[in-house]
Amino acid sequence: MSKVRVANFAISIDGYSSAPGQSQKDPFGPGGMRVMEWFFPTESFQKMQGKPGGETGIDNDFSLRSMTGMGAWILGRNMFAHSRGPWTDDGWKGWWGKNPPYHVPTFILTHHKRDPIEMEGGTTFYFVTDGIASALEQAQKAAGDKDIRIGGGATTVRQYLQAGLVDEMHLVQSGVLLGAGESIFAGADLRGLGYECVERVVGERAVHLIVRRR
């Protein structure tokens, strides 16, 4: 049965997934990329970059699992672009180059209309202006019996959590402190919403937490 999942979602010790001040140069905000430092040495990440080698082990295993069985993704606007407001004709097509890592239909939450963008490797970006429920409905139709991944950022994940629409989360706690930023926990009573941590695994550079709704 299809699930709605959050996976490979990195958080700092103090609960932030990014730092303030996102820009084209700093998609996670200045210093925010440190929450992803556990991921960069893995074989999985190196393969995404078209490079050989990389580390195998627990962190890599969880990374591989996070990309398996996905039939569609949902992203907040600022997981796709650093810009705000109406879309401009600036040629921006995401952070990832011509061949993004999704390889399935990917739905971008936004307040501003934009035509779909077809990329290499099977990724097509669709821009959804009528809310999270509509994006999920479209993603479910596209995914069939495969899973839907809520890719972030924190505000998008929090909205789906508060609506009780996330079946499972894989959170990756990195050993860094950001001090401020975006958090999926802000104003969200996960226990009250029925979520519980069912697995905790220590990897080479991070702690992997599996959270499911009862």
- Tens-digit pLDDT string for the chain (214 aa): 789 999 999 999 999 999 999 998 999 999 999 999 999 999 999 988 888 999 999 999 999 999 889 999 999 999 999 999 999 988 889 988 899 999 999 999 999 999 999 999 999 999 999 999 999 999 999 999 999 999 989 999 999 999 999 999 999 999 999 999 999 999 889 999 999 999 999 999 999 999 999 8
In a domain, 34, yes or no: yes
Q: What is the extent of the structural domain holding 135?
A: 4-82+98-213
Number of domains forming the structure of the chain: 1
pLDDT at 147: 97
Q: Is residue 89 in some structural domain?
A: no
- Which CATH number is 18's domain given? 3.40.430.10
Sequence-ordered alpha helix ranges (H) in 85-205: 132-143, 154-162
Measured CA distances, 113 to 78, 110, 209 (Å): 15, 7, 36
The answer to the question of residue 124 being in a domain is yes
| pLDDT at position 187 | 87
Domain contains 93: no
**Rounded Cα distance, 60 and 91, in Å:** 33
Residue 126 lies in a domain: yes
Q: Is residue 59 part of a domain?
A: yes
Is position 87 within any domain?
no
88 domain-assigned: no
